[in-house]
Chains A and B, each alone.
Chain A
Amino acid sequence: MTGLFSEVFLSALLFGAVTAAIPLLLAGLGEQMSEKAGVLNIGIEGMMLAGAYLGFVGAFYSGSLWLGFLTGAAGGVAVALIMALLCVRIGLNQIIIGIALTLGLEGLTALLHHFQFSRSYPRLPAADATVIPLLSDIPVIGAAFFKHHLIVYLAVALVFGMSYLYRRTQLGLNLQAAGDKPAALDVAGIDVIKTRTIAVLTTGALAGLGGAYLANVGAGLFIPFITNGAGFLGIVLAMLARGRPIWVLFGALLFGVCLSLTTAMQVAGINIPTDVIQMLPFLAVMIMLVLFGRRASLPAALGIPYERGAR
């Protein structure tokens, strides 16, 4: 047991927490934008899977992680395009389409994986880390937080970008109006459909990127159902963050620690079945929802398709 709390172990645990948190962060930020604009995006799990699969395919065949991130984000956008078309443009039920997209992408990516990779299970080489000088020399924390792939720092920077977007820009205000009082936005001369479409497509890009990170950097390979509920965790993060991007970051880190603990306990050879450990993040979610669920504030027009002149 002595090894369990050593410096190396702790720093590996935190490193894993950051790695596990990034997909959740990206999904949470994406979902937050959709929800602000009034679209409940249950299909985000499917968008992440599309991103994970296409991201892996892109990185595997091109040999470039960055190209993988790009194809992953494109995959997420492709799924989001279906969602935007069906739910925003013609106003179909967001929950039904969301479930359908998640189910469909689960099936489709598993199917494609079966025909493409199931015999070889190819892996990507470990991702190059961008080491931040000086900061990375701090014991424990340095190795845990400042030796990640460049995209990790970009994802964290995105949190502040999003804060700025919502507080200081016209687009940010439009997005929130599209979710709170779409009719008012319409009267002000701004296209609600277009605003919501932007939000859904951005969600797709972020979720796809999160999926690609999960497959390419987190796991180094694609397996069916690899996201294992990460998209749904993203929805919870967005719900609990009450519209503030910074809380998505904190929440993602918290769940990231839970997920990392899962792996760490398995590596440390603690004699508990993996199933018990796998319950940890979801248990944390339920506890959070029981404690803070009441205060989760959601936009007034969430889930309601906008139709001009409808009563």
Chain B
Amino acid sequence: MKRSLIIAGVATLLLSGCGADPEGGSGSATIDYWLWDAAQQPQYQQCADAFHKANPQYTVKITQYGWDDYWNTLTTAFVSGTAPDVFTSHLSRYPDLASQGQLLPITDLVTRDKVDLSAYQDGLADLWVTRDGQRYGLPKDFDTVAVIYNTDKLKEAGIKPEEMSELTWNPQDGGTYEKVIARLTVDRNGKRGDEPGFDKNHVATYGLGLNTSGAGFGQTEWSMYTMSNGWQYADRNPWPSRFNYADPKFKETIKWLTSLIDKGYVPSMDIISSGVGQIDTYGAGKYAMVTEGSWNTKTYWALKGVKSALAPTPIGPTGKRASLFNGLADNISAGTDNPDAAWAWVKFLASPACQQDIVAKQAVIFPAIKSATVEAEKAFADTGIDVKPFTMHVKDGTTHLAPISDHWADITTIMTETMDSIFSFKSDINALDPANDKINALFQ
């Protein structure tokens, strides 16, 4: 009897122990910082060390969660009051968090400390200002889109690397871009996509890979085509009131892209949904080229057995290339114990001391600070990667800011269903009309 009481007592203690998580807090100057990209953790650890050296009273503790867990963990952390002081944030997520009062506006701090917003690539800083004029982040990096191709497959197809930088595209016949894609496609009998007798049902290597249908964003799937065709996501950006997914320019572009699936140059939805992903499939030599975001560059070059090079996205009917221009920033939790420390760290992350002197040299991403781009290009070149196809968009002014909008999660749901269906040929291209109406109804 006595023993069982003791056991029960211990059990009760254990149960109650769960809730008694000691929350440090009082005057402690440790800054909790979260990020999702493991590849970027080393460079931000270096920044954290440099920050600690300059401000010995502050220590930064970095925690990394994979993208798939990141936002759920963060949401639960907000609810339970254990959110990090500072965390890497994404344009598609921060408007929701800001509107729910979870983020600390830094508008006044930026003015007070005279942070030079013109030091960042044009437009990036504005992405972090919400509709009510409050600023929530300072840009830390930027990304653009380019073509990554397998150099051996290019050689086998008899295409010269120089040709790759002058490709043009149009929604009618696909231009020289489609010719290259067709040429790079090989069926299992060795016939190329532009040769008679090509068997589109048994393709060994697709000329162009595909990741997803792109939902409403299509960042690396179709945005470089739609925007070089003169299309814009919405009536204005950021904070649009009407979206343009039913626009004829958008429809003809998507129609062209899906026609490549029909011709056997691009894998079908069934194939890609039965696949582990674009990167591994490219690594296995099943794709001759892919359209990719700059943040994945290092991952492609780390693939064993394939040699890659970069080419710019094709020139469209507007006579220009196009790339989405996206970037990350760090947000401060509204509930931080130590707003001063958090702001100091955010400011440091956004400064040349972190971005130019440390991050740029790691050749993983492009820092947001203008002067650091050259540095980053050089660092990439040192590892044998010519990243000009990514950075030329910035130089040539062919970047388009990523859409920032309310209801983005709902838009994504509607567009995933619609685009998946169009890409699978289960719906006509005009399925975009009701979808777009549904999206615009969200804003009424």
Interaction A to B = no
